[in-house]
Amino acid sequence: MDCLFCKIIAGEIPGNKVYEDENIFAFRDINPQAPVHVLIVPKRHMENILECDGETMQHVLNAIKRVAQLEGISASGFRIVTNCGRDGAQSVRHLHFHLLGGTQLSETMA
């Protein structure tokens, strides 16, 4: 399967890794929208949140907390975004969660 994030997870394409465990791979976005912009990605390929199950969401939740701690933004706060499909402006078709922080984020979301 020709999937950019599967290739990053497999180490075939370099990714700036922040965190990894059995189920999750997290790396810095190549085009950061905030001082902290990490992509938290389930290793198992699924297109978007519509294909996601509860067990995977639990792994994602654990990783969000861990990466926020590692990046030093637990106390100051952050935003989690997952884009889904065309209107959601999803550009990479492998489920991922954007962790954004390190500054005061905009109040607008759309």
Which residues bind to ligand 5GP, rule: CB under 6 A? Answer: 4, 15, 27-31, 83, 89-92
**Closer CB to ligand 5GP, residue 75 or residue 91?**
91
Burial (CB count <10 Å: 0-12, 13-18, 19+), residue 25 = buried
**Closer CB to Zn ion, residue 45 or residue 66?**
45
Catalytic, 59? Answer no
Among 24, 26, 71, 94, binds Zn ion (CB under 5 A): 94
Selection from Zn ion, ligand 5GP, none that 27 binds (CB < 5 to 8 A by kind) is: ligand 5GP
How far is residue 44 CA from its own chain's centroid? 13
Burial (CB count <10 Å: 0-12, 13-18, 19+), residue 26 = buried
CA distance 7 to 70: 24
Q: Does 6 bind Zn ion (CB under 5 A)?
A: yes
**Closer CB to Zn ion, residue 72 or residue 85?**
85
Number of residues in contact with Zn ion under rule CB under 5 A: 5
Strand order in the sheet with 78-81: 17-20, 24-28, 36-42, 97-101, 78-81
Active site residues: 96
